[in-house]
Structure 1
Amino acid sequence: MTDQKLDPEEAVRLARELLQETTERRVNAVRALVDASNTVDVAEQSVKDARDAHTKAWADAITSGWSDKELRATGARPPGKASTTPRARRSNRASTTPSADVAAQ
């Protein structure tokens, strides 16, 4: 037991502060989640719009007299085909472990 008496109102005040801090963190997490979700929605719509425009431009080129083969020969990518841009490869360097370093000494 303690010799000091606890003030119930002070305990209530501290409890409310703790709850408010926890609530604020949780609310801020929801805010960040919804912001990120909205950003994804906008990006997905932009990608859809770009794909639709690409499909229409390809169709317009075909309608104007170009063949698929001729358009491909220009380097144009047909709709629905993934980009062939090469990606950087990951390095497969072997990592050394401390035990291997010690054994080598």
Structure 2
Amino acid sequence: KKVVDIPSSILNSILSDLEKNDLILNSKDRKVLEEFVSLFELFNEAIVLTQGESYATIRLVAPTVLGILFDLERELGSSTLTLVSLCEALIASIKARF
């Protein structure tokens, strides 16, 4: 996630200085990266929430799954989402399992 916080011009300059030109992101690559980070943050929050050691977490499963499903459907409704097929596959998988 930290890479996304670095402005594109600075990140690309650093990569160029390191002679890693194949890693330089154009605007489309940057957008895809940001959308991946956004999707994976949903799962990171769920993992952190449900791995408690000092409290019962089984009661958090249903609300967490519903929260992920709601967030995925909201992301899918976004007009700028380029990861539509991934989002649709995740939604279908969640619905099939729960």
- Calculate the TM-score normalised by the size of structure 1: 0.28
Looking at both structures, which has the greater relative contact order when contacts are Cα pairs under 8 Å and sequence separation is at least 6? 2
Q: Tell me which protein shows more helix as a share of its residues.
A: 2
- Calculate the TM-score normalised by the size of structure 2: 0.30
